[in-house]
Amino acid sequence: AFATTQLVSRANVHLVEANIPINIGGVTVCPGDILLGDKHGVISIPKEVVEDLPAAIAKVEAGEKEIIDVCKSNDFSPERLKDILRQRYGG
């Protein structure tokens, strides 16, 4: 588990640098990036794309709503769902 603060230790701990890009598990995190975490993991959202998030989220939600509506419809069929998924994601 990762700590959220510095912990008391017998070792000598001192700050070397702050507000610099770091690499964690192969992912570069820069100052100002947004970190979003849940039980599945953590993602880093670059600060340069934060303004674009509301439109991107709305697009994903609209696509998910279409799929959910098909699944909830009275005339649901696996083929209809496959068609919708092919239209959205190809294949």
Domain count, the chain: 1
At 28-65, the pLDDT tens digits run 999 999 999 999 988 999 999 999 999 999 999 998 99
Length of the chain: 91
Domain contains 5: no
Is the residue at 40 inside a domain? Answer: no
pTM (2 d.p.): 0.57
72 inside domain = yes
User: Tens of pLDDT along 63-80?
Assistant: 899 999 999 999 999 999
Which sign does the torsion angle of CA 65, 68, 72, 73 carry? Answer: positive
Q: Which domain holds residue 60?
A: 52-89
35 close to 42: Cβ distance less than 8 angstroms: yes
CA–CA distance, 60 with 48 (Å, rounded to integer): 19
Confirm whether 74 is domain-assigned. yes
By the 8 A CB rule, do 31 and 20 touch? yes
pLDDT at residue 3 is higher than 60: yes
